[in-house]
Amino acid sequence: MREVVTMWRYTKMVVLAALTAAVYAAILIPLKGFPLIPGFTEFRPANVVPIVFGLLFGPAGAWGSALGNLIGDFFGTLSLGSLFGFVGNFFYGFVGYKIWGHMGWLSSGKGVDIRSGRQFLEYALVVFLSSAICAAIIAWGLELLGLLPFAILGSIITLNNFFTALVLGPLLLWLLYPRVYRWDLLWTDIMDEKDVSTHLSPGFGALFMWSGGLGGLIAGLALSTGLYGAVPFTFGAGTVGGAVVLGVLPFLALFFLGCLLM
């Protein structure tokens, strides 16, 4: 993850991070009047921005997503939970550029302009994992703070992020990628290799990222709803607080370990 620190040495990367934050916030703020959970989250077509800008601008897209979400929170949803929103949105933009091209036979190459069925499948998987870990981090944080049960926020964030980015992202990438590539604004064209982290074990890294991201979301939902031990049609009175926090934490740690290995 060296590049998330060293990118600040590059003027272009700093500008791209600011651009990402500005675009993300500019789309988020006008829709604050359409809440899904008042005070916490809302209808967010802007969720396509972290995915697309993360794939194009790498760590600049990740930092811009985190900052843009924080700016948006100042317009009606700012709370202690915004700290976890910052982290969750950072990794929402981070996962795509980090794992793209490292999913074995599913990998479709370096280009992210989504011009083939195989590229779309890889993109859909990236969006799903990004949505899952973003939801797991934020829902875990708000459960830790005692603000909202994991199951409520975890499910809404996952679905909100996934379907928005899945529908809007391919068109946006198809439009932007050729221009960004032609203008040498892809993050890999801007940053020197010495400032980018070495892939210590991309195979295990991808495995741990998937296991931690999906495992954290599933464990949180199962514990929070009581689904793990429910009689059919009777779940809904699950555990809250400490059990959910402790149950999800190992999966988040596994995900972060995977990030370090990539």
What's the CATH number where 20 sits?
1.10.1760.20
Whether 121 is covered by a domain: the verdict is yes
Whether 246 is covered by a domain: the verdict is no
Whether 131 is covered by a domain: the verdict is yes
pLDDT in the model for residue 95: 96
Whether 256 is covered by a domain: the verdict is no
Contact (CB, 8 A) for 159 and 125? no
Residue 35, beta-bridge partner list: 42
pLDDT in the model for residue 241: 59
Domain count within the chain = 1
Alpha-carbon distance 78 to 1, whole Å?
A: 28
The domain in which residue 170 lies consists of: 3-197
Whether 177 is covered by a domain: the verdict is yes
3-class SS of residue 192: coil
Six token digits for residue 34? 């359409």
Extract the runs of DSSP E, i.e. beta strands, from 64-181. none
Whether 147 is covered by a domain: the verdict is yes
Whether 153 is covered by a domain: the verdict is yes
Query: pTM for the complete prediction?
Result: 0.90
Whether 96 is covered by a domain: the verdict is yes
pLDDT in the model for residue 108: 64
pLDDT in the model for residue 91: 98
Ranges of the chain whose pLDDT falls below 70: 32-43, 104-110, 227-241
Q: Which residue carries 């008042």 as its tokens?
A: 38
Alpha-carbon distance 77 to 71, whole Å?
A: 10
The pLDDT tens digits for 202-229 are 889 999 999 999 999 999 999 888 754 4
